């Protein structure tokens, strides 16, 4: 059975619940709830497993905090013997408008410390990622306070409307591969 590691980035702890930086956790929670799955605490995070059509999805929410995400990713890739081509990392993106998302098979971290740590730990920037826009119309603001801030009601409602689509992206990535998924979902809101 082919295995895939789907990593949603975020920070553990009540103070980070439903903050902009925890979009990755929220997507995986949504996926789990809609497939009657539950997470269990394991080394370096919480995981749940989902099987479909001969494929095994391993959903991981690292508990290493955002800036040390690479440690959890590397550990679970090795533990489950998963090739980096079968890794998908889901994160927030301050450079994309709210609710827009972009799927890429490589690229820069774009100033995202979680992606930077994964890149440094895996020693490559060639890994698949799904980046979800959290940007607002405000240009002059403290970026750290903004990403660690709670979603307001409008942001929350808008983001939850795109979560079914992000779950489609996860399934497409596992079933059809990254190239097909990029062709099907990039540039669509």
CATH code for the part of the protein at 2-185: 3.40.50.1470
List active site positions: 21
Overall average pLDDT of the 40-63 stretch: 97
Could you tell me if 104 and 128 are in contact, meaning their C-beta atoms sit under 8 angstroms apart?
Answer: yes
Residue with tokens 């095994």: 56
pLDDT at 189 over 50: no
Give the pLDDT confidence score for residue 9 in this predicted structure.
96
Pairing of strands 2-8, 55-62: parallel
Look up the pTM and report it: 0.94
Helices (H), the chain: 23-34, 69-79, 113-122, 143-147, 153-176, 178-185
Give the pLDDT confidence score for residue 22 in this predicted structure.
92
Mark residue 133 as left, alpha or beta (left: phi above 0; alpha: psi -120 to 50; beta: remaining): beta
**How many Å apart are CA 166 and CA 161, to the nearest integer?**
10
């Amino acid at each position: 059975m082919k295995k895939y590691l789907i990593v949603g980035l975020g920070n553990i702890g009540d103070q980070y619940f439903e903050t902009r930086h925890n979009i990755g956790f929220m997507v995986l929670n949504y996926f789990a709830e809609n497939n009657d799955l539950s997470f269990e605490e394991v080394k370096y995070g919480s995981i749940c497993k989902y099987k479909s059509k001969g494929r095994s999805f391993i959903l991981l929410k690292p508990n290493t905090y955002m800036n040390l995400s690479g440690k959890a990713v590397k550990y679970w890739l090795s533990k489950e013997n998963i090739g980096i081509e079968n890794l998908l990392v889901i994160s927030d993106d301050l450079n994309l408008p709210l609710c827009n998302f972009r799927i890429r098979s490589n690229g820069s971290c774009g100033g995202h410390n979680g992606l930077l740590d994964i890149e440094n730990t895996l020693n490559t920037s060639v890994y698949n990622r799904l980046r979800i826009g959290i940007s607002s119309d405000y240009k002059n603001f403290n970026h750290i306070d903004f990403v660690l801030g709670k979603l307001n009601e409008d942001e929350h409602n808008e983001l939850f409307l795109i979560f079914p689509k992000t779950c489609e992206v996860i399934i497409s990535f596992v079933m059809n591969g990254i190239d097909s998924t990029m062709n099907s979902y990039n540039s669509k809101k």
